[in-house]
Structure 1
Amino acid sequence: MRDTFIIGAVIAAALTAPARADDQVERGEYLATIMDCGGCHTTGALLGKPDPERYLAGSTVGFQIPGLGIFYPPNLTPDRETGLGTWTAAQIVAAVRTGVRPDGRVLAPAMPYGHYGALSDADAQALAAYLKSLKPVHHAAPAMAGAADKPTAPYLAVVMP
Protein backbone atom coordinates (compact mmCIF):
# COMPACT_ATOMS: atom_id res chain seq x y z
CA MET A 1 0.00 0.00 0.00
CA ARG A 2 2.78 2.41 0.96
CA ASP A 3 4.64 1.69 -2.32
CA THR A 4 1.47 2.36 -4.32
CA PHE A 5 1.06 5.69 -2.54
CA ILE A 6 4.68 6.70 -3.23
CA ILE A 7 4.43 5.68 -6.90
CA GLY A 8 1.16 7.60 -7.20
CA ALA A 9 2.73 10.69 -5.63
CA VAL A 10 5.72 10.52 -7.99
CA ILE A 11 3.44 10.17 -11.04
CA ALA A 12 1.25 13.06 -9.86
CA ALA A 13 4.31 15.26 -9.35
CA ALA A 14 5.65 14.38 -12.78
CA LEU A 15 2.31 15.18 -14.42
CA THR A 16 1.92 18.55 -12.67
CA ALA A 17 5.54 19.75 -13.08
CA PRO A 18 5.10 20.94 -16.69
CA ALA A 19 1.89 22.72 -15.69
CA ARG A 20 3.78 24.60 -12.97
CA ALA A 21 6.46 25.67 -15.46
CA ASP A 22 3.74 26.85 -17.84
CA ASP A 23 2.03 28.66 -14.97
CA GLN A 24 5.32 30.40 -14.12
CA VAL A 25 5.77 31.63 -17.71
CA GLU A 26 2.13 32.72 -17.81
CA ARG A 27 2.62 34.64 -14.55
CA GLY A 28 5.75 36.23 -16.01
CA GLU A 29 3.83 37.32 -19.10
CA TYR A 30 1.19 38.87 -16.87
CA LEU A 31 3.86 40.73 -14.89
CA ALA A 32 5.63 41.97 -18.05
CA THR A 33 2.27 43.28 -19.22
CA ILE A 34 1.29 45.13 -16.04
CA MET A 35 4.86 46.40 -15.58
CA ASP A 36 4.60 47.73 -19.17
CA CYS A 37 7.95 46.32 -20.29
CA GLY A 38 6.71 46.55 -23.87
CA GLY A 39 6.01 50.28 -23.49
CA CYS A 40 9.75 50.99 -23.61
CA HIS A 41 11.41 47.81 -24.88
CA THR A 42 9.31 47.27 -28.03
CA THR A 43 10.34 48.83 -31.32
CA GLY A 44 7.90 51.61 -32.25
CA ALA A 45 6.05 51.64 -28.92
CA LEU A 46 7.41 55.05 -27.93
CA LEU A 47 6.13 56.38 -31.27
CA GLY A 48 2.65 54.94 -30.73
CA LYS A 49 3.16 52.18 -33.32
CA PRO A 50 4.52 49.08 -31.57
CA ASP A 51 5.93 46.45 -33.94
CA PRO A 52 4.49 43.07 -32.88
CA GLU A 53 7.36 41.29 -34.69
CA ARG A 54 9.82 43.08 -32.38
CA TYR A 55 7.93 42.80 -29.11
CA LEU A 56 10.47 43.37 -26.30
CA ALA A 57 13.29 43.38 -28.88
CA GLY A 58 14.53 46.87 -27.99
CA SER A 59 13.59 50.40 -28.93
CA THR A 60 14.97 52.59 -31.67
CA VAL A 61 13.93 55.67 -29.67
CA GLY A 62 15.77 56.58 -26.48
CA PHE A 63 15.41 58.72 -23.40
CA GLN A 64 17.62 61.70 -22.69
CA ILE A 65 18.56 62.06 -19.05
CA PRO A 66 20.13 65.48 -18.55
CA GLY A 67 23.75 65.27 -17.49
CA LEU A 68 23.93 61.51 -18.12
CA GLY A 69 23.16 60.96 -21.77
CA ILE A 70 20.71 59.15 -24.00
CA PHE A 71 19.66 55.60 -23.24
CA TYR A 72 17.92 53.20 -25.61
CA PRO A 73 15.82 50.42 -24.05
CA PRO A 74 17.60 47.17 -24.97
CA ASN A 75 16.43 43.89 -26.42
CA LEU A 76 14.90 41.66 -23.74
CA THR A 77 14.42 38.60 -25.96
CA PRO A 78 16.79 35.63 -25.57
CA ASP A 79 18.79 36.46 -28.71
CA ARG A 80 22.39 35.54 -27.87
CA GLU A 81 23.98 38.47 -29.75
CA THR A 82 21.59 41.38 -29.21
CA GLY A 83 19.42 40.33 -26.27
CA LEU A 84 19.48 38.47 -22.98
CA GLY A 85 20.37 35.09 -24.50
CA THR A 86 23.60 34.71 -22.53
CA TRP A 87 22.09 35.90 -19.24
CA THR A 88 20.97 33.42 -16.60
CA ALA A 89 17.60 33.74 -14.91
CA ALA A 90 19.44 34.87 -11.76
CA GLN A 91 21.20 37.64 -13.73
CA ILE A 92 17.90 38.83 -15.17
CA VAL A 93 16.37 38.87 -11.69
CA ALA A 94 19.33 40.84 -10.32
CA ALA A 95 19.14 43.42 -13.12
CA VAL A 96 15.38 43.88 -12.73
CA ARG A 97 15.62 44.20 -8.95
CA THR A 98 18.88 46.10 -8.48
CA GLY A 99 19.56 47.75 -11.83
CA VAL A 100 22.96 46.08 -12.17
CA ARG A 101 23.78 44.10 -15.31
CA PRO A 102 26.03 41.01 -15.29
CA ASP A 103 28.91 43.17 -16.58
CA GLY A 104 28.51 45.52 -13.59
CA ARG A 105 27.06 48.46 -15.52
CA VAL A 106 24.13 50.17 -13.80
CA LEU A 107 20.96 50.49 -15.84
CA ALA A 108 19.62 53.90 -16.81
CA PRO A 109 17.51 55.64 -14.15
CA ALA A 110 14.53 55.49 -16.53
CA MET A 111 14.37 51.76 -15.72
CA PRO A 112 12.25 51.56 -12.55
CA TYR A 113 14.39 48.92 -10.84
CA GLY A 114 13.96 50.70 -7.53
CA HIS A 115 10.27 49.77 -7.62
CA TYR A 116 10.83 46.35 -9.20
CA GLY A 117 13.15 45.50 -6.33
CA ALA A 118 9.97 44.84 -4.33
CA LEU A 119 9.00 41.89 -6.55
CA SER A 120 8.60 38.65 -4.63
CA ASP A 121 11.11 35.91 -5.38
CA ALA A 122 8.40 33.95 -7.19
CA ASP A 123 7.37 36.93 -9.33
CA ALA A 124 10.96 37.88 -10.20
CA GLN A 125 11.65 34.28 -11.22
CA ALA A 126 8.43 34.17 -13.25
CA LEU A 127 9.40 37.34 -15.12
CA ALA A 128 12.83 35.89 -15.91
CA ALA A 129 11.27 32.60 -17.05
CA TYR A 130 8.91 34.50 -19.34
CA LEU A 131 11.70 36.57 -20.90
CA LYS A 132 13.76 33.42 -21.47
CA SER A 133 10.70 31.74 -23.10
CA LEU A 134 10.28 34.39 -25.78
CA LYS A 135 11.24 33.81 -29.39
CA PRO A 136 14.73 35.30 -29.88
CA VAL A 137 14.64 38.40 -32.07
CA HIS A 138 17.92 39.60 -33.54
CA HIS A 139 17.69 43.37 -33.10
CA ALA A 140 20.27 45.66 -31.53
CA ALA A 141 19.00 48.85 -29.94
CA PRO A 142 21.18 51.88 -30.72
CA ALA A 143 24.18 52.37 -28.45
CA MET A 144 23.74 54.77 -25.55
CA ALA A 145 25.29 58.19 -25.95
CA GLY A 146 27.02 60.05 -23.15
CA ALA A 147 25.95 63.57 -22.21
CA ALA A 148 28.59 65.09 -24.54
CA ASP A 149 28.17 62.54 -27.35
CA LYS A 150 26.09 62.91 -30.48
CA PRO A 151 23.20 60.43 -30.50
CA THR A 152 22.89 58.06 -33.44
CA ALA A 153 19.11 57.64 -33.23
CA PRO A 154 16.02 59.64 -32.17
CA TYR A 155 15.29 60.22 -28.49
CA LEU A 156 12.74 61.74 -26.16
CA ALA A 157 13.77 64.67 -24.01
CA VAL A 158 12.21 66.61 -21.18
CA VAL A 159 12.86 70.30 -21.64
CA MET A 160 12.43 72.53 -18.62
CA PRO A 161 11.01 76.00 -19.33
Structure 2
Amino acid sequence: MSIHDFGTAVTRVASRAARRVLPAAFAALAAAIGSSPAGAADSELVEWGKYLVTITSCTDCHTPGHFLGKPDMTRHLGGSEVGFEIPDVGVFYGPNLTPDEETGLGRWSERDIVTAIRTGRRPDGRILAPVMPWPALAKLTDSDAAAIAAYLKSLPPVSNKVPGPFGPGEAPTSFVMKIVAPAEK
Protein backbone atom coordinates (compact mmCIF):
# COMPACT_ATOMS: atom_id res chain seq x y z
CA MET A 1 0.00 0.00 0.00
CA SER A 2 1.39 3.36 -0.97
CA ILE A 3 1.53 6.29 1.43
CA HIS A 4 -1.17 7.99 -0.63
CA ASP A 5 -3.49 4.93 -0.41
CA PHE A 6 -2.80 4.67 3.33
CA GLY A 7 -3.66 8.36 3.78
CA THR A 8 -6.90 7.94 1.81
CA ALA A 9 -7.91 4.91 3.93
CA VAL A 10 -7.19 6.77 7.17
CA THR A 11 -9.24 9.75 5.93
CA ARG A 12 -12.20 7.47 5.13
CA VAL A 13 -12.12 5.82 8.57
CA ALA A 14 -11.75 9.18 10.29
CA SER A 15 -14.58 10.60 8.21
CA ARG A 16 -16.93 7.74 9.20
CA ALA A 17 -15.98 8.16 12.85
CA ALA A 18 -16.53 11.90 12.66
CA ARG A 19 -20.02 11.39 11.19
CA ARG A 20 -20.85 9.19 14.21
CA VAL A 21 -19.18 11.28 16.91
CA LEU A 22 -19.53 14.90 15.81
CA PRO A 23 -23.33 15.23 16.06
CA ALA A 24 -23.24 14.00 19.65
CA ALA A 25 -20.27 16.24 20.40
CA PHE A 26 -22.03 19.29 18.99
CA ALA A 27 -25.20 18.47 20.94
CA ALA A 28 -23.18 18.15 24.16
CA LEU A 29 -21.37 21.39 23.42
CA ALA A 30 -24.67 23.22 22.81
CA ALA A 31 -26.05 21.86 26.08
CA ALA A 32 -22.92 22.85 27.98
CA ILE A 33 -22.86 26.36 26.55
CA GLY A 34 -26.59 26.70 26.87
CA SER A 35 -28.69 27.23 23.82
CA SER A 36 -31.11 30.09 23.41
CA PRO A 37 -33.54 30.50 26.29
CA ALA A 38 -36.79 28.53 26.04
CA GLY A 39 -38.70 31.76 25.59
CA ALA A 40 -36.61 32.60 22.52
CA ALA A 41 -37.55 29.32 20.85
CA ASP A 42 -41.22 29.91 21.71
CA SER A 43 -40.95 33.47 20.41
CA GLU A 44 -39.49 32.25 17.12
CA LEU A 45 -42.29 29.68 16.78
CA VAL A 46 -44.95 32.34 17.43
CA GLU A 47 -43.31 34.73 14.94
CA TRP A 48 -43.23 31.99 12.30
CA GLY A 49 -46.91 31.28 13.01
CA LYS A 50 -47.71 34.97 12.62
CA TYR A 51 -45.94 34.98 9.26
CA LEU A 52 -47.89 31.92 8.08
CA VAL A 53 -51.23 33.36 9.23
CA THR A 54 -50.37 36.58 7.40
CA ILE A 55 -49.40 35.00 4.07
CA THR A 56 -52.41 32.66 4.12
CA SER A 57 -54.68 35.70 4.64
CA CYS A 58 -56.54 34.33 7.66
CA THR A 59 -57.33 37.96 8.51
CA ASP A 60 -59.60 38.22 5.48
CA CYS A 61 -62.28 35.90 6.87
CA HIS A 62 -61.54 36.16 10.60
CA THR A 63 -61.12 39.89 11.36
CA PRO A 64 -64.15 42.13 11.93
CA GLY A 65 -64.64 44.77 9.25
CA HIS A 66 -62.32 43.22 6.69
CA PHE A 67 -65.04 42.47 4.14
CA LEU A 68 -66.55 45.90 4.73
CA GLY A 69 -63.28 47.58 3.76
CA LYS A 70 -62.37 48.69 7.29
CA PRO A 71 -60.59 45.91 9.19
CA ASP A 72 -60.76 46.45 12.94
CA MET A 73 -57.22 45.49 13.91
CA THR A 74 -58.01 46.08 17.59
CA ARG A 75 -59.98 42.82 17.20
CA HIS A 76 -57.44 41.08 14.95
CA LEU A 77 -58.66 37.55 14.12
CA GLY A 78 -61.62 38.08 16.47
CA GLY A 79 -64.23 36.76 14.01
CA SER A 80 -66.20 38.29 11.16
CA GLU A 81 -69.63 39.87 10.99
CA VAL A 82 -69.86 39.02 7.28
CA GLY A 83 -70.77 35.46 6.40
CA PHE A 84 -70.55 33.33 3.28
CA GLU A 85 -73.75 31.86 1.87
CA ILE A 86 -73.24 28.59 0.08
CA PRO A 87 -76.37 27.51 -1.83
CA ASP A 88 -78.19 24.58 -0.23
CA VAL A 89 -75.58 24.43 2.56
CA GLY A 90 -76.02 27.55 4.69
CA VAL A 91 -74.35 30.74 5.86
CA PHE A 92 -71.02 30.59 7.69
CA TYR A 93 -69.12 33.34 9.51
CA GLY A 94 -65.35 33.30 10.08
CA PRO A 95 -65.09 32.46 13.79
CA ASN A 96 -63.05 34.12 16.48
CA LEU A 97 -59.54 32.63 16.39
CA THR A 98 -58.28 34.39 19.52
CA PRO A 99 -57.90 32.49 22.81
CA ASP A 100 -61.07 33.99 24.33
CA GLU A 101 -62.59 31.32 26.60
CA GLU A 102 -66.22 32.03 25.69
CA THR A 103 -66.20 33.13 22.05
CA GLY A 104 -62.88 31.98 20.63
CA LEU A 105 -60.38 29.13 20.78
CA GLY A 106 -59.59 29.55 24.48
CA ARG A 107 -60.78 26.06 25.37
CA TRP A 108 -59.01 24.44 22.45
CA SER A 109 -55.54 22.97 22.86
CA GLU A 110 -52.84 23.66 20.31
CA ARG A 111 -53.34 20.05 19.16
CA ASP A 112 -57.09 20.78 18.65
CA ILE A 113 -56.18 23.77 16.46
CA VAL A 114 -53.70 21.77 14.41
CA THR A 115 -56.29 19.01 13.90
CA ALA A 116 -58.93 21.51 12.78
CA ILE A 117 -56.74 23.31 10.27
CA ARG A 118 -55.38 20.06 8.84
CA THR A 119 -58.47 17.83 8.85
CA GLY A 120 -61.40 20.23 8.99
CA ARG A 121 -62.67 18.62 12.22
CA ARG A 122 -63.36 20.63 15.37
CA PRO A 123 -62.86 19.15 18.87
CA ASP A 124 -66.66 18.72 19.16
CA GLY A 125 -66.64 16.62 15.98
CA ARG A 126 -68.33 19.21 13.78
CA ILE A 127 -66.81 19.70 10.33
CA LEU A 128 -65.60 23.19 9.41
CA ALA A 129 -67.54 25.18 6.82
CA PRO A 130 -66.72 24.29 3.21
CA VAL A 131 -65.28 27.78 2.65
CA MET A 132 -62.44 27.03 5.12
CA PRO A 133 -59.46 25.90 3.00
CA TRP A 134 -58.38 23.09 5.30
CA PRO A 135 -57.59 20.71 2.40
CA ALA A 136 -54.81 23.11 1.36
CA LEU A 137 -53.73 23.60 4.99
CA ALA A 138 -53.59 19.81 5.43
CA LYS A 139 -50.33 19.98 3.50
CA LEU A 140 -48.65 22.10 6.20
CA THR A 141 -45.66 20.49 7.87
CA ASP A 142 -46.07 19.49 11.51
CA SER A 143 -43.85 22.38 12.58
CA ASP A 144 -45.74 24.93 10.46
CA ALA A 145 -49.12 23.78 11.79
CA ALA A 146 -47.75 23.92 15.35
CA ALA A 147 -46.43 27.45 14.72
CA ILE A 148 -49.88 28.64 13.59
CA ALA A 149 -51.47 27.11 16.69
CA ALA A 150 -48.84 28.71 18.95
CA TYR A 151 -49.42 32.09 17.33
CA LEU A 152 -53.20 31.89 17.70
CA LYS A 153 -52.84 30.92 21.37
CA SER A 154 -50.48 33.90 21.89
CA LEU A 155 -52.99 36.51 20.70
CA PRO A 156 -54.80 38.73 23.18
CA PRO A 157 -58.30 37.31 23.74
CA VAL A 158 -61.09 39.18 21.93
CA SER A 159 -64.63 38.71 23.17
CA ASN A 160 -66.66 38.56 19.95
CA LYS A 161 -69.33 35.96 19.30
CA VAL A 162 -69.95 35.70 15.57
CA PRO A 163 -73.39 34.92 14.17
CA GLY A 164 -74.41 31.48 12.94
CA PRO A 165 -73.86 29.12 11.43
CA PHE A 166 -77.23 29.14 9.70
CA GLY A 167 -78.60 26.18 7.79
CA PRO A 168 -80.40 26.38 4.46
CA GLY A 169 -83.59 28.40 4.86
CA GLU A 170 -82.54 29.98 8.17
CA ALA A 171 -82.39 33.78 8.22
CA PRO A 172 -78.89 35.14 8.91
CA THR A 173 -78.62 38.00 11.39
CA SER A 174 -75.73 39.89 9.80
CA PHE A 175 -74.18 40.73 6.43
CA VAL A 176 -73.83 37.89 3.92
CA MET A 177 -71.65 37.41 0.84
CA LYS A 178 -73.29 34.97 -1.54
CA ILE A 179 -71.54 32.40 -3.61
CA VAL A 180 -73.69 32.35 -6.74
CA ALA A 181 -73.67 29.34 -9.00
CA PRO A 182 -73.26 30.10 -12.71
CA ALA A 183 -76.38 30.07 -14.86
CA GLU A 184 -77.04 26.76 -16.55
CA LYS A 185 -76.56 26.76 -20.31
Global fold match (TM > 0.5): yes
Number of the residue aligned with 1:156: 177
Q: 1:75 & 1:8 partners in 2: Cα distance?
A: 40
* Count of aligned pairs between the two proteins: 156
Q: 2:119 & 2:68 partners in 1: Cα distance?
A: 28
Where do 5+ consecutive residues of structure 2 fail to align? 1-26
Q: Over residues 31-74 of structure 1, what are the superposed CA-to-partner deviations in whole Å (9 max), with x where a residue is unaligned?
A: 00001000100000011110011110000000001110000110
1:10 Cα offset (Å): 4.9
Identical-residue share of aligned pairs (%): 51
1:9 Cα offset (Å): 2.0
Larger Rg: 2
Paired AA for residue 179 in structure 2: V
Where do 5+ consecutive residues of structure 1 fail to align? none
Number of the residue aligned with 1:122: 143
Question: Do structure 1's residue 9 and structure 2's residue 54 form an aligned pair?
Answer: no
Paired AA for residue 51 in structure 1: D
Q: 1:10 & 1:48 partners in 2: Cα distance?
A: 53
Question: Do structure 1's residue 68 and structure 2's residue 89 form an aligned pair?
Answer: yes
1:98-109 to 2 correspondences below 5 Å = 98-109=119-130
Number of the residue aligned with 1:93: 114
Alpha-carbon distance change, 16 to 114 in structure 1, aligned in 2, over 3 angstroms: same
Alpha-carbon distance change, 10 to 66 in structure 1, aligned in 2, over 3 angstroms: farther
Question: Do structure 1's residue 112 and structure 2's residue 133 form an aligned pair?
Answer: yes
Number of the residue aligned with 1:58: 79
Number of the residue aligned with 1:139: 160
Alpha-carbon distance change, 157 to 8 in structure 1, aligned in 2, over 3 angstroms: closer
Alpha-carbon distance change, 115 to 6 in structure 1, aligned in 2, over 3 angstroms: closer
Q: Greater relative contact order (Cα 8 A, min sep 6): structure 1 or 2?
A: 1
Q: 1:8 & 1:68 partners in 2: Cα distance?
A: 55
Question: Do structure 1's residue 38 and structure 2's residue 83 form an aligned pair?
Answer: no
Alpha-carbon distance change, 8 to 148 in structure 1, aligned in 2, over 3 angstroms: closer
Q: Extract structure 1 runs of 4+ deviating beyond 3 A.
A: 5-8
Length-normalised TM-score, structure 2: 0.80
1:17 Cα offset (Å): 2.2
Q: 1:80 & 1:111 partners in 2: Cα distance?
A: 22
Q: 2:145 & 2:175 partners in 1: Cα distance?
A: 31
- Partner-residue secondary structure (3-state), 1:63: strand
More displaced, 115-124 or 16-25? 16-25
Length-normalised TM-score, structure 1: 0.92
Superposed CA RMSD in Å reads 1.7
Q: 1:10 & 1:37 partners in 2: Cα distance?
A: 41
- Partner-residue secondary structure (3-state), 1:145: coil
